[in-house]
Structure 1
Amino acid sequence: MPAISDADRRWMHSALARLARGDLDLLASNAVADVAYPFGRISNADVALPWSQLLRAMPDLERRDDIFLAGENHPDARWTGPRPDRMVACCGSYVGTFREPFAGIPPTQGVVQLTYGEAHHFRDDKLSASWMLWDLAGLMRQAGCWPMAQPLGAPGLWPAPRGGAGVRLTASEDQGTLERVLKMHEGLNSFDGRDITSISMDHWHPDFMYWAAGNIGACRGVAGFRAHHQIPYRRAFPVAQGAGHFIRVADGPFAVTGGDVAVTHLGADYMGIPATGRDLRFRVMDFYRFDDDMLIAENWLPNDTLGLMAQMGVDVFARLAHLTGQPRLTL
């Protein structure tokens, strides 16, 4: 398969910036998108709705990619939905003055950042397929109206990769990063259900940074990762298994995967919600930066926190409406 040319990389990077400024003609008439809750799976003319609503809320919207990767989308037989053969993946934030409500979140009249992880496929100079994890939980927190328990990790906005070079507008040689990521995923699946050290961390730098969106939060190093994310997650979901990736792309010292994790909420509470006994799907993307020793030095985790909570039976938007002066008045 031919590599994505440098000219194509620059054009797609520019096209996404133009889209954020309102050039919705870049959307194909038959486009499809899978967007974080509450938007969900949309197609055709509806694909413009998240963009148009965001632009109405933040008229001076600016897109800032901290990571931009492009390349062959390596196969995953577990994924049964649409899966283009070449994709771009982006991690960063939309910046703007929050003037009007967005998805029920009240405006602040000040500058906010809506962090994102996205994957896109362009065909015939049109955006034809997208997967977009916009961190609405983080936006609620900036608006001072997050209605649920606080994250166990450190909340806030993630930085760009250390050393820069996250925006890859020039093709790079394959450094084997994707193979190492998939090997690391095998280690995550080695959990014996009892001892957290049964999960191998051999592919991680001892002081790696974990930048998690939603209601997880940031943590540092193997000990911090286990304390603030891995142990609470595994106590809540003793049964957890990757259910397939819609994207698997490597680009220089970076790699990205994105898909669903199938979990069963049988154990402890998670994000303040008691065990429901339900089978759930948690949509995530993982962006990885490897250091010179080919260890994972940074991991960004855009995720659909609100979609997970909705499956648990918690309507975060109803709680948000109540806290902002619009409680339900009937059963």
Structure 2
Amino acid sequence: MSDESGQCKRRVYDFAREVQDTEADGIATVLEEYYHADAQWQGPAPLDELAGREEIRRDYWEPLLEAFPDLEQNDYILFGGEFRDSNWVCTAGNFVGTFANDWLDIPATGHATWIRHGTFHRFEDGKISETRLFVDILDVLRQAGYRFVPALAPEIVAPAPATTDGILLNGADATDTAQTLELVERMIFEGLESFEDEGLDGMGMEQYWHEDFMWYGPAGIGSTRGIDGFQAYHQQPFLEAFPDRKADSDDIRLAEGTYCAWTGWPSLDATHLGDGWMGLPATGKSVEMRLMDFWRREGDLLAENWVLIDMIDLLDQLGVDVFERVRNGQQHF
């Protein structure tokens, strides 16, 4: 690990600590310390793209901190690496706070709320110049009593890695790093891409995953355990709905030690050809999916996978405008 990479990781770690000690009217000062003035920000619908530190403050951080005034950022994964000559740092975890004021047209509940997040930051000259961030807004809606899609598996607050070693401030072994990235790339480009030719049983999942691995999916899908549970409650319904999906080889991917992360805007192109996924009939529409994945390798296989999908954006492409339903007072599918 280079000194610069270590410094970038420490900056991200410190930024999270400062945010949770800051109220909405003080976030501008924190952002000035950590972000370039012209930084680019990409997030989930309905926020999408923000240009510059002032938009990031006005449209994301201030409304979030006003809605959750006691917000804490609890990261359980943090590592970094170089991708195409840039230093990147990625994190995953949960925000937690009291939902005291409305946010994104979601009525406040007054209750503790967990907001699952994943983030990639790109650095230039010691400050963040680009952020790609997911927060599971559909899960905030679920916790507020809105259920627009029938999940097949339990929707949970995703836990930290079972090994509790996901914060890699001091770097990791280069051989471990290379092994992890190679395994994930084989799983994506050889295993998952083989569905159309080989079918579900021929994808060779046992080459990539522990038999009892944990898959922590987003709201609307849920979380599964083991190859059998993963195939039954997520993979088979998803692949039948989107049989022609293709991963983008240009996606940002990082690995460090036994951890790997991947993101793209979009990350998958697909056609909605099958009925039933998330309770929806096939639309025949072409869609783009914004994704973010984090994996933990154990030995020669993957043991845990944290998955974030911009479900609000995907549902909108399939004809389901979640926020129009919220504004109209609809709470259930």
Distance 1:320 1:273 in 2: 19
Aligned-residue offset at 1:219: 0.2
User: Which residue of 272, 277, 282 maps to 1:275?
Assistant: 282
Equivalent residue letter for 1:24:
L
Deviations 1:90-143 (A, max 9, x none): 110111111111111111112111101110112233321011111001111111
Report the counterpart of residue 158 of structure 2 in structure 1.
158
How much has 1:53 moved relative to structure 2? 1.0
| 1:31 lines up with 2:36 in the alignment | no
Letter in structure 2 aligned against 1:68:
L
Residues 78-157 of structure 1 mapped to structure 2, 5 A cutoff: 85-146=86-147, 148-157=148-157
CA 246–192 in structure 1, closer or farther in 2 if over 3 Å, else same? closer
CA distance in 1, matches of 2:101, 2:197: 46
Q: CA RMSD in A?
A: 1.8
Q: Deviations over 1:191-219 (max 9, x none)?
A: 13673112221110000000011311100
Q: Are positions 1:235 and 2:240 aligned together? A: yes
Residue identity opposite 2:302 in structure 1:
I
Return the alpha-carbon distance in structure 1 between the equivalents of residues 11 and 50 of structure 2.
25
Q: Scaled by the length of structure 1, what TM-score is found?
A: 0.90
1:274–1:324 Cα change, 3 Å: closer
User: How far apart are residue 270 of structure 1 and its match?
Assistant: 2.2
How far apart are residue 317 of structure 1 and its match? 0.6
Contact 1:112 1:142 in 2 (8 A): yes
Question: Is it true that 1:264 corresponds to 2:265 in the alignment?
Answer: no
| Whole-angstrom CA distance in 1 between matches of 2:285 and 2:68 | 37
Verify the 8 A CA contact 1:4 1:71 in the aligned structure 2: no
Q: Where does the alignment leave 5 or more consecutive residues of structure 1 unmatched?
A: 76-83, 326-331
Q: How many Å separate the matches in 2 of 1:133 and 1:115?
A: 8
What's the CA shift for 1:155? 0.5
The amino acid across from 2:68 in the alignment is M
Tell whether the 8 Å contact from 1:193 to 1:238 is kept in structure 2 after alignment.
no
Question: Does the 8 A contact of 1:154 with 1:217 survive in 2?
Answer: yes
Cα gap change, 1:24/1:233 in structure 2, threshold over 3 Å: closer, same or farther? Answer: same
State the alpha-carbon separation in 1 of the partners of residues 318 and 283 from structure 2. 6
- Which residue is equivalent to 2:73? 63
Are residue 177 (structure 1) and residue 180 (structure 2) matched? yes
Aligned residue in 1 for 2:202: 198
Residue 221 of structure 2 is aligned to residue 221 of structure 1: no
Q: Where does structure 2 lack aligned partners over 5 or more consecutive residues?
A: none
Aligned mates of 1:194, 1:143 — CA distance in 2: 41
Deviation at 1:3, TM superposition (A): 5.8
User: For residues 328 and 92 of structure 2, what CA distance do their matches in structure 1 show?
Assistant: 32
SS in 2 for 1:179: helix
User: What TM-score, normalized to structure 2?
Assistant: 0.89
Residue correspondences, number:
314
Q: Deviations over 1:21-45 (max 9, x none)?
A: 3323233210111101111122113
What is the CA–CA distance in structure 2 between the aligned matches of 1:189 and 1:203, rounded to whole Å?
A: 13
1:302 aligned residue: 308
Q: Distance in 1 between matches of 2:157 and 2:185?
A: 27
Q: Match of 1:286? A: 293
Distance in 2 (alpha carbons) for counterparts of 1:195 and 1:15: 45
Check conservation: 1:93, 1:115, Cα contact below 8 A. Answer: yes
Matched with 1:51 is 61
**1:40 is the counterpart of 2:48:** yes
Structure 1 residue 156: Cα displacement: 1.4
Query: How far off its partner does 1:85 sit?
Result: 1.9
Runs ≥4 residues deviating over 3 A: 1-8
Partner SS, residue 248 of structure 2: strand
Match of 2:217 among 208, 212, 220: 212
Cα distance in 2 between the residues matched to 1:286 and 1:307: 17
Identity of counterpart residues, as a percentage? 34
Of residues 256-265 and 268-277 in structure 1, the stretch that sits farther from structure 2 once superposed is: 268-277
Q: Does 1:189 align with 2:179?
A: no
SS in 2 for 1:287: strand
Match of 1:167 in 2: 167
- Please state which structure has a larger fraction of its residues in helix: 2
